[in-house]
């Protein structure tokens, strides 16, 4: 059974747990540096995940704090995924240095 939070209640819970985003980022600072991830981009992605996480929380499956921490960690790992970094939904997971020549895309070169 999923929760039935009102919008105001959901927002209050999200605001109370924004500090968990900072903790997740701090714990994974090395990963962010190695993957060349921008702090603001990661924070935004984690904030969106936090909102969805609170909305989809099922109290029968554990505590809210555990659920939030697990979801934020999972989202941070997704941020380093090349598909989300470069916006290529069909890109392979290990895509690095995605550069496409404009000569390869004549319709873009003409624009």
Tens place of pLDDT for every residue, the chain, 111 residues?
567 789 999 999 999 999 999 999 999 999 999 888 899 999 999 999 999 999 999 888 889 999 999 999 999 988 876 555 555 555 565 656 666 666 766 666 555
Task: Please indicate, yes or no, if residue 111 is contained in any of the structural domains.
Answer: no
Say if 75 falls within a structural domain: yes
3-state secondary structure of 110: coil
Helix (H, G, I), strand (E, B) or coil at 80: coil
The total domain count for the chain is 1
Is residue 74 domain-resident?
Answer: yes
Token reading at 34: 């190695």
| Inside any domain, residue 44 | yes
Angstrom distance (rounded) from CA 96 to CA 83 = 10
Task: Please report the pLDDT score of residue 5 as a whole number.
Answer: 85
Could you list the residue range(s) of the whole structural domain that residue 13 is in?
7-80
Domain assignment present for residue 85? The answer is no
Inside any domain, residue 86: no
User: Do the domain assignments include residue 105?
Assistant: no
Q: Rounded CA gap, 44 and 66, in Å?
A: 20
Q: For residues 7 and 20, give the distance between their C-alpha atoms in angstroms, rounded to a whole number.
A: 20
Question: Per-residue b/e over 9-27, b at no fewer than 16 CB within 10 Å?
Answer: eeeebbeebeebbeebbee
pTM of the predicted protein model: 0.71
């Amino acid at each position: 059974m999923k929760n039935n939070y009102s919008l105001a209640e959901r927002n209050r819970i999200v605001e109370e747990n924004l500090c968990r985003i900072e903790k997740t980022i701090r714990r994974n600072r090395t990963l962010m540096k190695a993957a060349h991830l921008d702090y603001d981009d990661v924070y935004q992605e984690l904030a969106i995940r936090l909102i969805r996480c609170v909305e989809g929380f099922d109290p029968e499956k554990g505590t809210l704090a555990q659920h939030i921490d697990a979801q934020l960690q999972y989202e941070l790992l997704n941020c380093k995924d090349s598909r989300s970094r470069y916006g290529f939904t069909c890109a392979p997971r290990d895509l690095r240095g995605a550069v496409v020549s404009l000569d390869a895309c004549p319709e873009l070169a003409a624009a």
